[in-house]
Amino acid sequence: MNLNNITFPYPVLGSFDDILPAPSEPEVEIHQDKKDYHFVVKLGYENKEIEKLVEQDYADYVCEVSCDMTRYRRCFKGKLLHFQIDIPRKSVAGRINFSCTITLKKGLANYTNEGFHPDYSGHSFDMDAGDLLGILGQFYYYADIKYDKLKAVGTFMEINETEDPLPSTILDKDKIELRLPTALYRQYKDNPAVNSKADILHASIVLNSLMYALCRIERHYNRKWAETIFYRIDTEPELAEFMDQEPEDWRVDKLAQLLLGKPYERLFNYLANKEQNQE
């Protein structure tokens, strides 16, 4: 899940200095069972004029939910800054988007707010039904990702066999697929001395495939392997520097090292320990 700030021109309450005080980020609790995803969304802000308009039935608090992959779209609304949203698992796949707003139900003439920036002192606005009074936050959640196993390479990459004479990387699947020629693949599968050495594999062929994928992730953003990587960037403090960057600006060599748990460092430690044990 990721929280995003967003701002609109006056007279919309946003996350910066449009109308003060700014709303706090949504608090989100997420649970799931075999049939449904359950989201508890708590919104927070303080603005007397807007609160009064909600009480007078001029506006509602709204949480709009959409999923591009399945075309799922629902709008939850009410008078409370609290939503219990239940979504059938079969109705969504990939990224689920949430947008929380304060939306007018009917026209409003001469709207003013004590929280307006001083530059807008003395101004008023005529607004129509459906116009936004406030943006209370946006966030998203990736369905079908095994969050407790995200750091395992197997959540976004797999190694398979190919008849081609050279290794290759395939990106148009749920996982990054590293294909090894038959002879190499059989060594990888059948030789414990090879397939048990993750430190070596991660620092060599796995790292190369991951860097290739990261350079092309924008073309495959809706694949599960890409969603997994985006989610890790959004949630892991160690990857925070990449959160506000466009993928084209990523230092993919550094990002790949972090995603794989610093394989160069693990490789050198493995070699040093092996030499020490031999001595």
Q: Which two tokens stand for residue 219?
A: 């073309």
Based on the domain organization, do 6 and 125 belong to the same domain? yes
The CATH number of residue 101's host domain is: 2.60.40.10
Based on the domain organization, do 106 and 194 belong to the same domain? no
Question: What pLDDT, on a 0 to 100 scale, did the predictor assign at position 11?
Answer: 62
> Is the pLDDT assigned to residue 262 strictly greater than 70?
yes
Helices vs strands, H then E, count in the chain: 8, 13
> Is the pLDDT assigned to residue 12 strictly greater than 70?
no
Please say which residue of 144, 165, 183 terminates a domain: 144
Report the share of the chain in percent with pLDDT over 70: 86
Q: Which of 55-59, 141-145, 263-267 has the lowest mean pLDDT?
A: 141-145
Residues with Cβ within 8 Å of 23's Cβ and at least 6 positions away in sequence, in order, are 13, 15, 43, 44, 45, 134, 135, 136, 137
Question: What pLDDT, on a 0 to 100 scale, did the predictor assign at position 1?
Answer: 45
What is the average per-residue pLDDT within 269-276? 75
What is the DSSP track for 128-155? -TT-EEEEEEEEEEETT--GGGTTSGGG
Question: What pLDDT, on a 0 to 100 scale, did the predictor assign at position 273?
Answer: 76
Based on the domain organization, do 109 and 188 belong to the same domain? no
Based on the domain organization, do 138 and 152 belong to the same domain? no
What is the average per-residue pLDDT within 186-198? 73
Find the domain containing 162 and state its range.
148-278
Based on the domain organization, do 22 and 140 belong to the same domain? yes
Please report which confidence band the pLDDT of residue 25 belongs to, taking 50, 70 and 90 as the band edges.
confident
Nearest-angstrom CA–CA distance, 209 and 165: 17
> Is the pLDDT assigned to residue 14 strictly greater than 90?
no
- Provide the β-strand partners of residue 93: none
Based on the domain organization, do 39 and 139 belong to the same domain? yes
What is the average per-residue pLDDT within 181-187? 91
Question: What pLDDT, on a 0 to 100 scale, did the predictor assign at position 266?
Answer: 82
Q: What is the count of structural domains for the chain? A: 2
Based on the domain organization, do 135 and 230 belong to the same domain? no
Nearest-angstrom CA–CA distance, 114 and 150: 46
Based on the domain organization, do 152 and 194 belong to the same domain? yes
Question: What pLDDT, on a 0 to 100 scale, did the predictor assign at position 33?
Answer: 86
Question: What pLDDT, on a 0 to 100 scale, did the predictor assign at position 196?
Answer: 57
Please say which residue of 128, 144, 160 terminates a domain: 144
Based on the domain organization, do 139 and 187 belong to the same domain? no
Q: Which two tokens stand for residue 184?
A: 């190499």
What is the average per-residue pLDDT within 155-180? 93
Please say which residue of 144, 173, 190 terminates a domain: 144
What is the average per-residue pLDDT within 156-164? 92
More confident residue, 146 or 6: 146
What is the average per-residue pLDDT within 122-128? 85
Based on the domain organization, do 153 and 130 belong to the same domain? no
Based on the domain organization, do 13 and 45 belong to the same domain? yes
> How distant, in Å, are the alpha carbons of 15, 43, 74, 105 from that of 84?
23, 12, 13, 21
What's at 24, amino acid-wise? Answer: S
Based on the domain organization, do 164 and 243 belong to the same domain? yes
Give yes or no for a contact between 56 and 22, defined as CB atoms under 8 angstroms apart: no
